[in-house]
């Protein structure tokens, strides 16, 4: 069992293109999601107050694409950046990864993040060779739980006061995961 790192490859889904971020995504990222407190409420990063913060973060992210184990996509719809999804390596040796994501409010509840997250899960198992992909959501953030379930993940447990969110609450979280063998069953005709 070994990960075969492939870098942030562009992924096309029915409606979306997931691609690496570029420096000139700053304006769209700032106005479409990063400066919206409703989007960042449950995140670990603070709402961007100025576009310079967005430029600075992109200047950190973009050079990371030279590393083949960096997986971070800009979610685009009709070429417009509308959100982000990341696949983190939690344990390289055991082939365990985790996904995290956000999109702008204007695009909520249209099945968009489920479509993006399913594509990233397919990539993680089918291209990189992960064995276990996990995700968790704050109990007070059921929309994220909806995305996780739509990726075929199973409930694995509950953790109390797991992280301090931007809204300033120690969030109780539900944990989910999908195994490669679960995913393979969904690939059979
Ligand atoms: C959470 C978030 C990613 C959901 O994205 P989305 O594109 O709106 O999700 P989807 O449309 O794919 O919805 C998936 C399921 O969850 C449900 N859902 C979505 N938002 C919901 C909400 N606010 N309350 C209850 N259910 C919700 C959907 O109805 C859907 O289920 P269904 O197909 O049975 O109807 C989006 O709201 C967001 O970016 N929020 C801010 C950032 C964030 O919280 N990220 C997660 C941190 S853990």
- Summarize pLDDT for 38-55 with one digit per residue, the tens: 999 999 999 999 999 999
Residue 39 lies in a domain: yes
Residue 143 lies in a domain: yes
Distance CA 94, CA 182 (A): 17
Helix 112-123 to helix 142-150 angle, to the nearest 10 degrees? 50
Tell how far the Cα of 14 is from the centroid of ligand 1, in angstroms: 18
CATH of the domain at 182: 3.40.630.30
pLDDT at 188 over 90: no
Tell how far the Cα of 1 is from the centroid of ligand 1, in angstroms: 33
Residue 6 lies in a domain: no
Q: Which residues line ligand 1 (CB under 6 A)?
A: 39, 42-43, 101-103, 108-114, 137, 141-144, 146-147, 150
Residue 130 lies in a domain: yes
Give the pLDDT confidence of 109-154 residue by residue, as tens digits. Answer: 999 999 999 999 999 999 999 999 999 999 999 999 999 999 999 9
Distance CA 17, CA 151 (A): 18
pLDDT at 85: 98
Residue 151 lies in a domain: yes
Give the contacts of 136 (CB within 8 A, at least 6 positions apart).
Answer: 98, 148, 159, 162, 173, 174, 175, 176
Range of the domain at 75: 11-187
Residue 4 lies in a domain: no
Q: What are phi and psi of 64, to 5 degrees?
A: -70, -20
DSSP 47: P
Tally of domains in the chain: 1
Alpha helices by DSSP H, the chain: 26-29, 37-40, 51-61, 112-123, 142-150, 180-187
Give the pLDDT confidence of 61-116 residue by residue, as tens digits. Answer: 999 999 999 999 999 999 999 999 999 999 999 999 999 999 999 999 999 999 99
Beta bridge partners of residue 99, listed in sequence order: 87
Tell how far the Cα of 108 is from the centroid of ligand 1, in angstroms: 6
Q: Whole-model pTM?
A: 0.97
| SS3 state of residue 118 | helix
pLDDT at 82: 98
Tell which one of 147, 150, 162, 173 to mutate to probe ligand 1, the residue whose CB is within 8 A of the most ligand atoms.
147
Residue 174 lies in a domain: yes
Residue 96 lies in a domain: yes
Half-sphere exposure of 145 (CA within 13 A, CB side): 14
């Amino acid at each position: 069992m070994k990960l075969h790192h492939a870098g942030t490859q562009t992924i096309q889904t029915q409606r979306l293109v997931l691609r690496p971020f570029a420096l000139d995504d700053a304006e769209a990222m700032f106005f479409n999601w990063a400066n919206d407190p409703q989007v960042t409420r449950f995140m670990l990063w603070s709402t961007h107050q100025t576009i310079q913060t967005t430029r600075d973060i992109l200047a950190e992210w973009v050079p990371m694409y030279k590393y083949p184990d960096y997986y971070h996509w800009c979610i685009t719809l009709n070429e417009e950046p509308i959100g982000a999804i990341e696949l983190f390596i939690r344990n390289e040796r055991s082939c365990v990864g985790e996904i995290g994501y956000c999109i702008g409010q204007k695009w909520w509840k249209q099945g968009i993040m489920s479509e993006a997250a399913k594509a990233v899960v397919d990539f993680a198992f089918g291209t990189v060779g992960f064995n276990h992909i996990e995700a968790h959501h704050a109990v007070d953030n059921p929309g994220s739980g909806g995305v996780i379930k739509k990726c075929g993940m199973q409930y694995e447990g509950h953790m109390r006061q797991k992280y301090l969110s931007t809204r300033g609450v120690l969030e109780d979280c539900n944990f989910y995961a999908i195994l490669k063998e679960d995913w393979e069953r969904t690939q059979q005709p």
